[in-house]
Each structure stands twice: as C-alpha cells, then as structure tokens.
Structure 1
Amino acid sequence: MNRTLENVVPVLTILAGMVVAWYVAAVLLNAPFQRDLDRRAGETPGTIEFIDKTLSQPKPTMPAPHQVAQNFFENTFLRKITSNRSLVYNAWITLSSTLLGFAFGTALGILIAVGVVHLTALDRSLMPWIIASQTIPILAIAPMVIVVFAAVGVTGLIPKSLISTYLSFFPVAVGMVKGLRSPEIMHLDLMHTYNASSSQVFWKLRVPASVPYLFASMKVAVAASLVGAIVAELPTGAVAGIGAKLLSASYYSQTIDMWSALVAGSIVAALLVTIVGIVGRMVEHSMGARPA
C-alpha cells in the first residue's frame, strides 16, 4: 500500500501542477480578447469577474481545463457512437489505420533488423538510408503518398496506414538491431562450442535476448504510428478521425473541440503503449524472465 502511494502521489502532484499552470495560461492568453470585449461593451468588471469571463469564452485562445473536460465528456458519453461528432467514433477510425500501420511497421522493422544483423552489406548500405529517411518531415511525405495512391485508385485505410508504417518501422528496426546484437561474446562462443547452427544461435540466443529491446521500441513505435495516422488524415479531406476532427475544428476556430480531440488522441496513445507494455511483460514472463 505504501509503495502504491509512493508511486501515485508524485504523479498526482505533477498532474495538479499542470492543471494549475493550464488555468494560469488560459487566463493570460484569453485576457487580451476579453479586455477588448469589455472595452467595446463599456464594462469594467472586477478581477474575479474578469478571470471568470476569460475562463468561459465560447471560442477561447486557450480553453480552460473544465471546458475541455466538459466537451470531452459530452462528445464521448452523451453522443451515439455512430455520430460524426462522437470522439469514440473518430478515435476508432484513427485507431484502425494506426493498428494496421503499426503491424506493417513492426514486421518491416524486424525484417530489416534481421537482415542488418546477418548481412554486413545491408548494415553498411541500408542502415544509413534508413536513418536519413527519418529526417524528412512527415508533413511533406503524407500528401505525396496520398496523391500517388489516389492516382492509382487506392484510397482510405491503406494510404493512411502506410504513413503510420513509415513512422513506426524505424524505432522497431533500431531497437531490434540492438537486441539481436546484445548477447555477449562469451555466450556466442559457448553456442559455437556446442556446434550450434546459425539458426539455433538466432532462435535460442539472439531472439530471446532481443525481446526486451523489441517491446521497448514497440512502445515508441505504436505512439509514432498514431501520430502518423492523425497526420495522414489532414491532407486526405477525411470526414472522420481525430485528424479530421482537428482540421474541421481549426477551420471554424473551435479551440475547445481541438483540445478535446487532442485529449482523446493522448488517451488512445496511452492505452496503446500500456497494452504493448502488458503484452511485453507477458511474453517475457512466458520466457522465464523474473518480474521487476
């Protein structure tokens, strides 16, 4: 119980500090517009009334936490799941392309890592290009991918998932390379002493050693995959998804809707990372690892 409190109290303290800082920032950023409104209306409100007005604007520069919370609750629990305004519906649309892109990215990253570890030519020729590919902004790649695939009649889920793949394969490839190379020389020599084949060394030594690295990199990859799916929805003119929700809200200056969609995306990301972590611990436990 004490250990649980030791873990929870710091998190709650930081969260409370963030909420307080959020309220302060909302007052400061919304104040100029509120002063202008009051000046035009010929009003001179007191300090408390002025602060209350800055925290209750319909289209604030920065919405207050309670405004975002209310909007999130309404669009999550008080709307039908099939409604275009439902955050559950929009999150599911984004999640579908995220999961497909994450699956593609993980598989591609593992294949690249296996090739890089076993073939020196790939290590020297392919790895630098893989690293260089991540310097290209995703906002520059996404429209090109969407346009190219639309030209050949492919739209919808596949183009969006490929952008998620582009962001998610890199951390998996790097982490898996590190993991496959993590066995010590002594252990490799021992396998060779027992006349183990290359496949036996790979499956019985390198793969088990790489599992912690793989799942650590998959946590990064699944979050990056979600970012890719959201970005991919921006140039497609999509009518559903977290990215589409952000875009439509920005068109009409619905900042509260924008922040609510961001919160929804953050929750989805946290859930995905948590699920990957749980699966990772289950796999490590099934392989005989001791709980931390």
Structure 2
Amino acid sequence: MVTIIILAAWYAGAIWLNSPQAAEALTRAGKPWGTMDLIAHTFTMKRPVLPTPDQIVVDLWNSLTGYAPTSPRNLLFHAGVTAQAALTGLAMGVVLGVALAAGIVYVRTLEYSLLPWIIASQTIPILAIAPMIIVILGNIGLTGLLPKAVICMYLCFFPITVGMVKGLRAADPLWLDLMRTYSAGGLATFLKLRIPASLPFLFASLKVSVAISVVGAIVGELPAGAQAGLGARLLSGSYYGQTVQIWSALVMASLLSVVLIAVIRGVEVAVVGPIIGRGSAAR
C-alpha cells in the first residue's frame, strides 16, 4: 500500500513539474492538444524535470543489459568503481576506529582528551573538506583511489569508534574477573573476550558506515573530475541535463548500499551467530 501511495505521488509530481515544459513543447508543435495529451507528454519527455519511475527503470535496464559490464556506459562498471573506493575507505575506517576505541577504553585520559575532538570532526561538512583532501593528497602525488578512500574513512570511522567503545566495554564483568583469575594479560583479554563481545556492536556500526562510505565515495568523485564512478555519472548527467541518467545513478547508488549492507549482514550471521551460541552454551 505504501509503495502504491509513493508511486502515485511520484507520478503526480512528474505531471506537476513537467507540465510547463510539456505544454510549451505541445504548443510549438502547432497541433491542438488537451489535458490527456499534456499528461501523456509529461511522462515521455526526454529531459524531464522529474523522471517517472518507469523511465528510470527503462534507463537502468538498458544500461545494465545493453552494454558489457566493463563498458563505461554500464552502471555496473561505475558502481564497481564506487564500491572499490567505499570498501577501501571502510576498511581504513575500521582500522582507525578500532584503534581509537581501544585507546579510549584502555587509556582513561583519552576519553576526555580525544573523544571530544572525534565528535567535533563530524561537524565539518564533507562537501567543504572533500576538495581540500583531494588537493592536499594530489600535491604529494596521491591521486585516484586513495583520496576517495580517505574521504570515506573520514565519514565512517566515527560510528565505528563509538560502537566499538560501547562494545569493548560490553564484556561480562564476571568473565573479566575469570580472565584475571587465570592471570590472562591485557592482550589476551582484549583478543579473547573484549573483541568477541564487541562484534555485535561492530557489525551494527558497519551497516551504518558502509552506506555512509558509499556517499563519501560519490562525494569524492565530484570535485576530482573522475571519469568513472557513480559520482562521475551524476556529474556528466548534470552537465548535459540528462535528468533520467542522474536518477538512474542515484537508484544504482541506493542499490549498491543495499547490497553491501546485505553482505555485511550475511557475514554478521556467519561470524556472530556461532560466538553467541558458544557463549550461551558456556553459561
């Protein structure tokens, strides 16, 4: 029911936004036209203000099936380029976030000195900092994938850090006492108790971070003048007024995020499930 309401509102919005251009085009054609002609034309314009869902679906289908996956005309090619940057940045964000979380948990001073700066870092708009990152890294010879990955890392390390701080502190106090009873060192406690206890929090953060990372990769492609990636596809569509192409790229970006979140969910089930099962058996 909700889908039907959204589609109806979408088509109504397309009629409303496209009707001025459609009326002008019909008038220039010099033929008599009525309301139904106007509505029909708003749904078939080549460069509409708001494309209809069927126009977007057709454009996506033509792109995915009409060209080889390695062709720049195929959105899978651009999605792959964006996914590469997003996943690289996510991996870098995981390393940074876990390291910061471990420092905050084990060094009490860092919680009061470092955590406020971590929070403050997220108040800077990414659209403002992305060109700076690209220019700075470009001046030292780092171009291509790495600047985009750094932007993704900047966006996604925060939820990972916050989630891991909570997760590393979620270990059962009785188990911590048991580890001390067996004279386990700090590293052994960290690897065998705190890390397993933090995995549910880590995967929850990862599902948020991977979607943010896709956004960061797209933003990183815009000021870099990239020739490949969903951001480049959006940019070329805006240059040439191809609104259907822009919306197709947006839908593909959404689908990419959904697929990556599903993959992380699958890994979570495979990794966290057995650990939770062993923990329940131990109790």
Category of TM-score, reference length = shorter chain: over 0.9
Does residue 1:162 correspond to 2:142, yes or no? no
Equivalence for 1:250: 238
In structure 2, which of residues 16, 19, 28 is the aligned counterpart of residue 31 of structure 1? 19
Describe the superposition over 1:71-109 as per-residue Cα deviations: whole angstroms up to 9, x where unpaired.
000111111223222101111111111111111111111
- Listed as ranges, the gaps of 5+ residues in structure 1 are 1-12
What's the CA shift for 1:190?
A: 4.8
**TM alignment of 1:249-268, pairs within 5 A:** 249-268=237-256
Kindly provide the amino acid, as one letter, of the partner of residue 182 in structure 1.
Answer: A
**TM alignment of 1:268-279, pairs within 5 A:** 268-279=256-267
**How many angstroms apart in 2 are the aligned matches of 1:114 and 1:289?**
25
What's the CA shift for 1:188?
A: 3.6
Kindly provide the amino acid, as one letter, of the partner of residue 164 in structure 2.
Answer: M
**TM alignment of 1:1-292, pairs within 5 A:** 13-193=1-181, 195-289=183-277
- Listed as ranges, the gaps of 5+ residues in structure 2 are 279-283
**How many angstroms apart in 2 are the aligned matches of 1:32 and 1:56?**
14
Q: TM-score, normalised by structure 2?
A: 0.92
**How many angstroms apart in 1 are the aligned matches of 2:69 and 2:183?**
59
What's the CA shift for 1:140?
A: 0.8
Equivalence for 2:281: none
What's the CA shift for 1:202?
A: 2.3
What's the CA shift for 1:196?
A: 4.1
Kindly provide the amino acid, as one letter, of the partner of residue 116 in structure 2.
Answer: P
What's the CA shift for 1:170?
A: 0.9
Q: Report the more deviating stretch, 124-133 or 280-289.
A: 280-289
Q: TM-score, normalised by structure 1?
A: 0.89
**How many angstroms apart in 2 are the aligned matches of 1:82 and 1:200?**
46
Kindly provide the amino acid, as one letter, of the partner of residue 218 in structure 1.
Answer: L
Kindly provide the amino acid, as one letter, of the partner of residue 262 in structure 1.
Answer: L
Cα RMSD, aligned residues only: 1.8
SS in 1 for 2:90: helix
% same residue: 47
What's the CA shift for 1:187?
A: 4.5
What's the CA shift for 1:165?
A: 0.8
SS in 2 for 1:240: coil
What's the CA shift for 1:191?
A: 4.2
Kindly provide the amino acid, as one letter, of the partner of residue 206 in structure 1.
Answer: R
Q: Report the more deviating stretch, 120-129 or 176-185.
A: 176-185
